[in-house]
Amino acid sequence: MITRDFFLFLSKSSILNRLARNWGSSVATGKIIGGKDFEASIPIIKELNEQGLTVTVDHLGEFVDSREVARERTQECIRAIQLIAQEQLNSHVSLKMTSLGLDIDLDLDLVRDNMTSILECAEQHKVMVTIDMEDEVRCQKTLDLFKEFRQKYEYVSTVLQAYLYRTEQDLEELNPYNPFFRLVKGAYKESPQVAFPDKKDVDENYKKLIKKQLLSGHYTAIATHDDKMIDYTKEIAKEHQIGKDRFEFQMLYGMRSKTQLELVKEGYNMRVYLPYGDDWYGYFMRRLAERPANIAFAFKGMTKK
């Protein structure tokens, strides 16, 4: 059986990452990523929108150790927001704090300045920016920044991971900020001291978070390919008379496309997570680690014509 740890191990291989960049355009573009740049992804976003699917885009890349690169990533995100508005695309933007310099400046001034520039543009164009969650070591810094930005900006959201013990408490502490959360299971290699080691415990915590957030009245994104979690969400919404306009499902581009369209036909909001850029390999391996069963969906997506 292919395990989660196996995919996490592969995600850290610099050799495989380099090889993936070289042949990624032919294997991944239009199948699991939108393209090498945002412009190349626009036709795909438009096609998804025409099918009734909303989108969130993510310029792949993280753990930036250069101020110059962090500034470049900031400008790339601003450019994406401007093009979303210009092309009238139904799309959000996702980003990682490490791509904006989280690890460079201990005082967080660099990442704070870069994110402020992005959110000023997002507010102007009314485009939601989601702060992706990374490993547990960076969790508190990320949430502290989210709280800070949320007090000033409307178009900012973040992600909570069900495999961390702390997440239920984080959810409760963040509720006063009227948050829009993307709820995920989590895909980083973590110590049993900070994260549930067993899948069944992660699943139970995920259900608990879904129910709590839906009942809170805050708009919620349930990011999953797991039919059990999809069905559970539907049941909770029906039982508590929560309207379909109060939550959305999210899935990866190129995986379970048929299910995505079926959810749209059922009247549910369905958002497709569409990454773009050369640095796709680590992202892809972590998605398989998050749920190894995704390998079947991924294979179908990458072999489609």
Catalytic residues, by residue number, are 132, 182
The answer to whether the Cα torsion of 147, 269, 184, 65 is positive or negative is negative
Do residues 278 and 36 lie in contact, with contact meaning Cβ atoms separated by under 8 Å? yes
Interaxial angle between packed helices 14-27 and 281-290, expressed in degrees from 0 to 180 and rounded to the nearest 10:
100
Strand 91-96 relative to strand 54-59, pairing: parallel
**Start-to-end Cα distance in the chain:** 29
Q: String of b and e for 152-189 (b: at least 16 CB within 10 Å)?
A: ebebbbbbbbbbbebbeebbeebeeeebbbbbbbbbbb
Rg for the chain, CA atoms, rounded? 18
Q: Identify how many contiguous H helices and E strands the chain contains and give both numbers.
A: 12, 8
Helices (H), 51-127: 67-86, 109-125
